[in-house]
A and B are shown apart, each in its own frame.
Chain A
């Protein structure tokens, strides 16, 4: 594996499967009475958040703490960043404090790439979402969730998502989740179809390794998982679509549409959900919707990422390690 996790495209198939398998081990730790491992004791993980995202930050925080790392939360608001300090100076400050890993969320696409490649810091950089570029740990937790649901927690070990048909619906143009998922799911052997109004599909999408459709009803019966992206209501002010109601009618997932999906297929959502917009409450609260499960899986997956980037060769969970090796 590379030293940083900036893009889902950085991961080979074997890297990705290793992360998912390691996340499975981490998930088992969560079932123990004491949910903590000593693996990253004495290491420092900084959560550097230039954009508000409580969900992602606490997920990384929980992951690092369960691995016994020291966690520093650095929020751009109320800090020197809001007084005009540059990304570079912030990075140099963190470096001086001895950060072993920097988990960065930034509103500018490419900021984590710059942080990792500009010589400003030595530590590992984990992209926790950059602009409209990528969100690789979200894609990993999504893949983890799909593998668990479609293959099984034990049966899935060592396996990828070959032949699974995944549909991603919504604001692809502005979605870092979609970009990372297209990369990762393709690497894992899945077939991806993007569904969106043409205004919300980027010019240049033809080079992506996936299909594009404007017709949700046609794609649903052929989907093993349907991932609904959050659609910001403000988009309609920029004429991406006429009204919320029209969007919901054409691209929202309601119970009638869900009924067109195969029996085994799951509904996914990275959150936070716009109930009534891209997803109805009925679908969001159904047993087929994995939104809450995705949150739990997020902690396990991020533990796996931090462990593999920082922990090196030491076994993460001594007792389960041998079994994982056999399944690879």
Chain B
């Protein structure tokens, strides 16, 4: 078995320590550990985090391999410091059967860059009418526990109620894409001052907030837990805060882009800023950061949404919604949360590894950096400053809103069960 000694790493941002990895597990954590028979990595004060876990990734395979595949998506994930990603169900065909989720799961295992945990569709074809065979997907080799129609909202209150109830039988959770469909017909961007000037169809905050309010009340009524995808408004934060204070079993995620970018960027009409839910206002951004810091929002999830160049190199209305995010997420979180003093690195580990793994009931990930635990680790050079250049992305797609922007931090090493997937910032 191969041994690796990571020397002088600030574990969760604490005092420098040595971490000895033996085979697939962490053997020892301490100071002055011996290096006999081990390959030594001089961490030199870099930050050591548990391997990151993304609860919200679009890998596009099967069906849209022109934008991403399980291979390219997991390579992008490893580059960004992730050791596990949850793959959303809106593929072609939709991941609404045991067959499709097992295919995605197997592809992830074969490639070996990052564990892929498929998410199952709540309803057949994401159509919101009939429940998918949720139990069959859970019982499959893929062992699905998270269900979502993401991209579409489960807007029928009865279907949502039944889904919340049904998955209790096997400890599942429904992740809701909160978007009232009638209020967002023709929606192109956040409804407000900027949409009024630009003449683009508005996506009002209330279309998200009203669904979240309904769903936390449904979860309370039937005694289920519910997860809210990509919270984007200050009002949504207030509702989730209220629900948690009432003891409702709700968790919520925020994307990196909603922590940093605002709808002012849409003035460029550059579709790289087109995303769903849309970029909101400065006030929303600040509320989301605060909520992530105080735990109202539990986790950061990327909503990594690759699109081919031609789907963004066009007029705004014709463009696809979504941004890639796996390779920049940690940098954006460092920039918006750590360097603003809102979170320390232990807080980042909680929100980008421990908690997402718990929400998704994912064994072997989001574990403490301690002897006997799986060696899923991410080493971060937090002192690094660099300009984002999508040409260097491992993702097949380049639709990043950060091109040309300086962001801090760089993942230098990623280990998946003791095996390096990234070494010195390059894919192994």
Contact = CB atoms under 8 A, between A and B. Distances in A.
Pairing of A with B: yes
Interface of A: 86-88, 106-111, 113-114, 117-118, 130-134, 176, 179, 202-208
B316 A204 contact: no
A203 B198 contact: no
Given A109-B269, A131-B199, 13 more contacts: A86-B314, A106-B315, A107-B317, A108-B316, A109-B188, A110-B269, A111-B317, A118-B313, A133-B200, A179-B197, A179-B199, A203-B191, A203-B192
B317 A207 contact: no
Considering the complex of A and B, which 9 residue pairs feature the smallest CB-CB distances, nearest first? A204-B196, A133-B199, A110-B269, A108-B317, A132-B199, A202-B196, A204-B193, A111-B315, A109-B199
Interface string B234-263: 000000000000000000000000000000
Contact of A204 (B192, B310, B314): B192
Interface in B181-205: 188, 191-202, 204
A114 B315 contact: yes
Contacts of B200: 109-110, 131-133
Contacts of B194: 204
B313 A202 contact: no
Contacts of B316: 108-111, 114
Contact of B317 (A88, A109, A176): A109
B318 interface: yes
A118 B270 CA distance: 9
Contacts of A108: 315-318
B193 A87 contact: no
B315 A207 contact: no
Nearest to A179: B199
A213 to B, nearest CB: 17
A88 B314 contact: yes
B233 to A, nearest CB: 14
Given A110-B198, A132-B199, A179-B199, A203 B315 contact: no
Given A86-B310, A110-B269, A113-B269, A205 B196 contact: yes
B199 A204 contact: no
Nearest to B195: A204
Nearest to A175: B199
A133 B314 CA distance: 17
A114 B191 contact: no
Contacts of A208: 196-197
A117 B267 CA distance: 12
